[in-house]
Structure 1
Amino acid sequence: MPNSVFIIGHKNPDTDSICAAIGYAYLKNALGTGVNYIPKKAGELNKETRYVLDRFGVQEPETISDVGAQLMDIEYRQLEGVDGHISLKKAWEIMLERDVVTLPVIAKTGKLEGVIVNGDIAYSYMDVYDNSILSRARTQFSNIISTLSGRLVTGNPHAYFVKGSVVIASNNREDLKEDINRDDLVIVGNITARQLICIEAGCSCLVVCGASSVDPEVEKAAIDHQVVLITTEYDTFTVARLIHQSMPIRQFMQKEDIISFELDDYVDDVREVMKTVRHRDFPILDENRHYIGMVSRRLLLNMQKKKVILVDHNEKSQAVDGIDQAEVLEIIDHHRLGSLETVSPILFRNQPLGSTATIVSLMFKERGVQIPKEIAGVLCSAILSDTLMFRSPTCTPIDEERARELAKIAGVDVTELATSMFEAGSDFKDRTAEQIFHQDYKIFTSGDTKFGVAQVSSVSKGQLNSIKGEIRKYMDSVLNSSDLNAVFVMLTDILNESTELLFVGGEADKIIADAFRMPVAADSYILDGVVSRKKQLIPPIMESLQE
């Protein structure tokens, strides 16, 4: 999308990443820079976030799974397609006029029928020695007239030459009749007697060379015998050389195994396919196989990277796929510095606050932009979610101040909103262990150790216990199907401000025991007072691994 920037949070998005993207997109658009800022999401919404968006009437962002460059991001050639009935000569002229070597052949329905390249035309001229190929190709007489710059004297120009061979009437008059079979196309000089002999011999088409008109007797004979009569100023040699170029391109175009692409194909994938073939140009089709345009290797050099702003993360492992191929313009975050790298300097705002939404609300204030009621509602919800209604140690006075100010604008009670959100997020009915696990899951790396941490929060200890068995089973499948060394799940009791930490992986138990100076557990760890993954769980683990 030209002149657009995607604002997007991390994979497995939580309320903060979604609402921060929505709020920051509104702010950027309100500043009127002429750029269209669009909030996106890198995964499915959890129940808490869906409740928030529904409550405040805010549209759910579209999902984007990969920000890598696609064919839609390049200036592909919108080359007009041609009809399969046009002559080889006409196709050649179009190639020269448009400075291309490939033409897409399009049906009346708009679907791709084939492609013809200049090599196909060369083949028809250099390697075809069959004098009946004109009829087998079902050549239209109008093509012959056009190719020879001729004039139709008698007959239907829209009819087809479908039977017989191409014959040059060069023999003496006595033997001429034996050279011509019924339905042949005969090329003859401007000699009336010869022309009459050819018509009487049963030819279906007579091309008279070196003439613009014929004797009335010849014209009458052609009408009587239903012969298509064409005159041309070209001499016999030129006509014999050109007439094969009147054949329709469908006779020589490639119809099978055509390599084509779609607009949503990724450039890296397209480039790999192009390496395997010698073609220079390839058709682009839509999902219904309708022709859109042409792409070449050279055009891939002109691709425009997608422009993105990242919120609530700065780790490559948490970013949407294809981030290396995108142009990152800004990062707005409240986490530790991660592994993401950029080609050039960018705006990177990182503050030790409890929520990215807090930072976004501060930017509204700094820019003097009034916050609408619905945007205030989602930003307030995000702060309450990330700070567990001010219970998390990540919460700062600034977070609480901004949340309460946003609640006034949105016309909501902080306690009621937080309780309703947490209850919605704690409703595990009709949800699989996989869905619950991935609603808030992140991957971290320290040296050679790579581990994943999911957090499931609830206002009810009983709800957490009801899903513990299924979650533990699913953790094993995550570990076995990945390159992770360990997988952890935080079952966080919001009201009691404690977490039961489940773990799988060869060294997972020792990692936690070392990090929290506790005896090695066999089943799980009870971490009283621990409710924040970012501030209370990850730092001790990282320090332990680095030691």
Structure 2
Amino acid sequence: MMVRHMKVMVLGHRNPDTDAIVSAISFSYILRSLGYEAVAGRVGDIQPETRIVLEKTGLDVPELVEDVKPRVRDVMTPNPISVRLGEPVKKAIDILVSKAIRSVPIVDGDNKVYGLFSTESFARYFLNELISLRLTLREVPVRNFLEISNSRLVVGSSNSVLSGRVYVAAWSLQAIEKRLTEDIRGQILVVGDREDVQIKAIESGISALIVTGGFEVSPSVVEKAMKNNVKLIISPYDTYTTLRLLDLSQPVEYFAEKPRTVTEDSLVKDVARVMVNEGVRTVLVVDSIGRLRGIVTRRDLVRDYRKRVALVDHNEFSQSVEGIEESAVIAVVDHHRVSGDVKTLDPIIFRVEPLGSTNTIIWAMSRELGLSIPKNVAEAMLYAILSDTLLLKSPTTTAIDRAVANEIAEYVGLTLDQAIEFMRIAMAANEPSDPRVIVARDLKIFDVGGISFGIAQTFTTRVGNYISMVDRIKHAMDEVLREKGLRFLVLMITDYIEGNSLIIASGDIKTVEKALETDLSKGYALMQGVTSRKSQVLPKILRYIESMRI
């Protein structure tokens, strides 16, 4: 089932041409009309021709999308609840219970992560305490105990601390007198309304006296406590509850574990690997200086966190955005061969037709749905159709492309001749002079039967100007070939007015010669009537590769 409330990125192929960019914009409009939160994006820099088209039609350049790999920011719970250093551990426990969670971050006054309190870290501490059979407090703020127990401080400062072993005066006075003189100096005594024990304990040098049951103490006890600098606290609870609250008033960091931290840009698959391999249940998300930004738990990784993507003007993953294999493709609109890369568990929008432009298909879809495309978007679609069909002269141009071009021209108030003249000028601005740009700007990579190869194309009205550049162009092609790990690379320098292409190859040139039935011994070949990568060059190469496997 497609989730329509989630954001969908509509993306064309790498090294996008005008048809890819405008398809992303126009199909985003259709998806939004269907209830999707669709946003157009681009996978690479736009060409001068495309920029001219967008400026003419008043459309913004789509946002650059470098990859669609799920990142921590996509799955984390932002600004999670936390506890501060020094706060009583009971507060952290109350959070876990009330929120039905297993852990809570511990931060300092600047929101920097100090540690993680979890059911596991608390259990480890508690087990050690059971083994020792002693409740010993260490630098526990008095205010912590007062806060969680609603106790009343009679003598002493709330900014002071409770330290030492905790004793309960539950014996006879003689036994108490013996114990008091032996080992209670500097320790903490919990006692009921026994004034004789209270006074004797104070005189014996205890550091704190906690009276349970909410019983008031006599003025003489208060005076003794003040004279001997003994903290005097009255707890409203019975002895057992008071002892538990003393334990739970300890600073939460005493029960903390060292957390695993990541940034928002970290990859989800790396976090999942840590959780599985190291048994980690919770990972904290921090910024560059360690401040808490979010939290990721195992529960977050159970749901489908993949980014939703719609592919336009391509369907081969080798031509798509980085990380496409880790995304959820919810739609494909294209006019190229079906690669078989897109595999889904649920039905998706999948529209591939043998037409000259993807925007021809999108225009037909808008008519089928009864949608009125905004006129500036429609005008850009017209220019994209003219660009991709080489001003309606490409062998891939169909009667449907021509009919749609005429229909859109009438819809936006232009004549077809006016639109063609504008695109003739815009396309001329596309001609690069840098050999590296000539090769890489419109490069499509294919992977068939374990053979990776590329076909690049650039358009011109002066093919002859490139012959003098062949050596420099071949050098750039060799570099790209190595970088991309290709078997061979073909460059088409296409004259869209005369209807022919200059062919240059790098790598396994023999395969290219046999596939295209041409001679590249001069370093290039001029192929008359060849202008389409999609319908005239790629199919020949695919058929030859297939014949090699038979």
1:231 and 2:234 aligned:
yes
Taking every aligned residue pair, what percent have the same amino acid on both sides?
32
Report the counterpart of residue 442 of structure 2 in structure 1: 440
Deviation per CA, 1:174-227, whole angstroms, max 9, x where unpaired?
773564556x54444543233334434554432234552211211233344553
**Aligned AA (1:315):** E
In 2, are the aligned partners of 1:169 and 1:176 still within 8 Å (CA)? Answer: no
Equivalent-residue separation in structure 2 for 1:37 and 1:478 (angstroms):
34
Choose from 192, 196, 213 the match for 1:193: 196
CA distance change for structure 1 residues 167 and 516 in 2, over 3 Å: closer, same or farther?
Answer: closer
Q: Deviations over 1:84-117 (max 9, x none)?
A: 2222233223323322221111334444332112
Give the aligned residue type for 1:176: L
Residue 396 of structure 2 corresponds to residue 415 of structure 1:
no
**Cα contact 2:274–2:280 (8 A) shared by 1:** no
**Distance in structure 2 (CA, Å) of the matches to 1:7 and 1:167:** 66
Indicate whether 1:213 and 2:212 are aligned.
Answer: no
Corresponding position of 2:459 = 457
1:538 maps to amino acid:
L
Q: Distance in 1 between matches of 2:373 and 2:126?
A: 71
> What does residue 376 of structure 1 align with?
378
Q: Please tell me whether residue 245 in structure 1 is matched to residue 248 in structure 2.
A: yes
Q: Secondary structure at the match of 1:481?
A: helix
2:18–2:50 contact (8 Å) kept in structure 1 = yes
Correspondence for 1:152: 153
Aligned residue number for residue 176 of structure 1:
180
Matches of 1:108 and 1:410, distance apart in 2: 63
Are the structure 2 counterparts of residues 447 and 101 from structure 1 closer, same or farther at C-alpha, using a change threshold of 3 Å?
closer
Distance change >3 Å, CA 174–CA 130, structure 1 → 2: closer
Residue 379 of structure 1: how far off its partner (Å): 0.9
Give how far 1:543 is off: 1.7
- Cα deviation per residue 1:122-148 (whole Å; 9 max; x = unaligned)? 33333255989734xx32102223455
1:26-425 mapped onto 2 (5 Å cutoff): 26-29=29-32, 32-74=33-75, 76=77, 79-127=80-128, 134-135=137-138, 138-146=139-147, 150-157=151-158, 159-161=159-161, 165-166=164-165, 168=167, 172-173=176-177, 176=180, 179-181=183-185, 184-201=187-204, 203-210=206-213, 212-232=215-235, 239=242, 243-255=246-258, 258-285=259-286, 289-343=290-344, 344-408=346-410, 409=412, 411=414, 413-425=418-430
Counterparts in 2 of 1:282 and 1:326: CA distance versus 1, 3 Å: same
Distance 2:530 2:365 in 1: 30
Aligned equivalents of 1:83, 1:368: Cα separation in 2: 57
- Structure 2, unaligned stretches of length 5 or more? 170-174
SS at match of 1:425: coil
Measure, in 1, the Cα distance between the counterparts of 2:237 and 2:369. Answer: 77
* Post-superposition CA distance 1:337-371 (Å, at most 9, x none): 21223223333222221111122223333444333
Q: TM-score, normalised by structure 2?
A: 0.86
- The residue number in structure 2 matching 1:537 is 537
Q: Distance in 2 between matches of 1:36 and 1:486?
A: 40
When the two chains are superposed, the root-mean-square deviation of aligned CA atoms in Å is 3.2
Q: What residue in structure 1 maps to residue 506 of structure 2?
A: 504
Contact 1:422/1:459 (8 A) holds in 2: no
Amino acid at match of 2:108: A
Q: CA deviation at 1:280?
A: 1.7
The structure-2 alpha-carbon separation of the partners of 1:314 and 1:175, relative to structure 1 and needing over 3 Å to count, comes to closer
Partner residue, 2:521: 521
User: What are the Cα deviations for residues 432-464 of structure 1, in whole angstroms up to 9, with x where unaligned?
Assistant: x54443321111233342211111222333664
Contact 1:166 1:187 in 2 (8 A): no
Q: How many residues align?
A: 533
Match for 1:416: what amino acid?
Answer: E
What's the CA shift string for 1:471-496, capped at 9, x where partnerless? 32232223223442112222223333
SS at match of 1:260: strand
CA contact (8 A) 2:198 2:221 kept: yes
Deviation at 1:74, TM superposition (A): 4.6
Q: Which moved more, 1:444-453 or 1:106-115?
A: 106-115
Q: Unaligned stretches of 5+ in structure 1?
A: none
State the shift of 1:236 in Å.
Answer: 5.7
Residue pair 1:151, 1:212 contacting (<8 A) in 2 also: no
Is the alpha carbon distance of 1:434 and 1:81 closer, same or farther for their aligned partners in structure 2, counting shifts above 3 Å? farther
1:15 is displaced (CA, Å) by 0.9
Cα distance in structure 2, aligned partners of 1:194 and 1:462: 110
- For structure 1, which segment, 143-152 or 81-90, has the greater mean C-alpha deviation from structure 2 after superposition? 143-152
TM-score for both structures, normalised by structure 1: 0.86
How many angstroms apart in 1 are the aligned matches of 2:471 and 2:247? 77
> Secondary structure of 2:332's match?
strand
**Deviation of 1:241 (Å):** 6.0
Cα shift at 1:248: 0.3
C-alpha contact 1:74 1:303 (8 A) present in aligned 2: no
Change in Cα spacing, 1:460 to 1:227, as seen in structure 2 (3 Å) is farther
8 Å CA contact retained: 2:16, 2:42: yes
Give CA deviations for 1:302-337 in whole Å, capped at 9, x if unaligned.
224433322111222222233333333332111122
